[in-house]
Amino acid sequence: MKRNFTILSFLVIFSGLINAQEVIDSYTMGYFNKNYEIEASKGKSDDFTVYIQVNAERSTTKANYLIKSGKLNDFKEALIATKDKYVEWSKVAKENNVTDMSKEIDVKFPNVDIAWLGSKWFFSFEKKLAPKFLILKDGQHVVTFVNKSTASSNQYIDETTYWVFADVKEFDEFIQKLDLDKINGKLEKSESKAELFK
């Protein structure tokens, strides 16, 4: 009973946040040749939540990784370490003519919540992200994050999400967008505008 109440509380809180989020930036996933939004929403204190839109298994589904501002720097550092390993392994593969490779990268990310919009919003809490280095059949080197998530509110609702980096430039451009001060500044600017129209 207590567990159900906790899940219900999370759903109410996150549903409110989803509705209050604001687009603060965007990025491109070259593998899918698509643009995705980065959104954020303020909490009751100075904390905020960042929503990274990722690719979903169903083309009509909008899916996001949710990261609290307190975890954002750790998330950013993990992404930098993943990029460094991608650079290292790509170099080794090219120098040794390796054309077929699939290997998990041993970098620990802070857990994220995954939210996806189907007929309504569904959430899967505290999910682990496991980056994997792949050499594709066309010779392209990528890092993938693939998560199959089950909705906390319904064990029969699930969604697979895909986050893919296809080159160093994609890593660098995305990492630059994970700046606590810049995100906070954009949110505060929006709040100031809203205050004008009370």
Separation CA 151–CA 83 (nearest Å) = 30
Separation CA 18–CA 79 (nearest Å) = 24
Domain annotation covers residue 191: no
Domain annotation covers residue 109: yes
Residue 7 is predicted with a pLDDT of 47
Strand-pair partners of 135: 101, 141
Domain annotation covers residue 190: no
Residue 119 is predicted with a pLDDT of 84
Domain annotation covers residue 189: no
Averaged pLDDT, groups of 10, the chain, 198 residues long: 48 50 95 97 88 94 96 98 98 97 98 94 97 97 97 95 98 97 87 51
Domain annotation covers residue 197: no
Q: Give the burial class of 40: count Cβ atoms within 10 A of its Cβ; 0-12 exposed, 13-18 middle, 19 or more buried.
A: buried
Strand-pair partners of 8: none
Residue 20 is predicted with a pLDDT of 72
Domain annotation covers residue 166: yes
C-alpha distances in Å from residue 51, one per residue of 14, 39, 48, 109, 165: 11, 5, 10, 16, 17
Domain annotation covers residue 188: no
Residue 188 is predicted with a pLDDT of 85
Q: Long-range contact list for 191-196, CB < 8 A, 24+ apart?
A: 191/42
Non-local CB neighbours of 185 within 8 Å, separated by 6+ positions = none
Per the structure, the complete domain to which residue 90 belongs is given by 2-182
Separation CA 124–CA 143 (nearest Å) = 23
pTM: 0.86
Domain annotation covers residue 194: no
Q: How many domains does the chain have?
A: 1
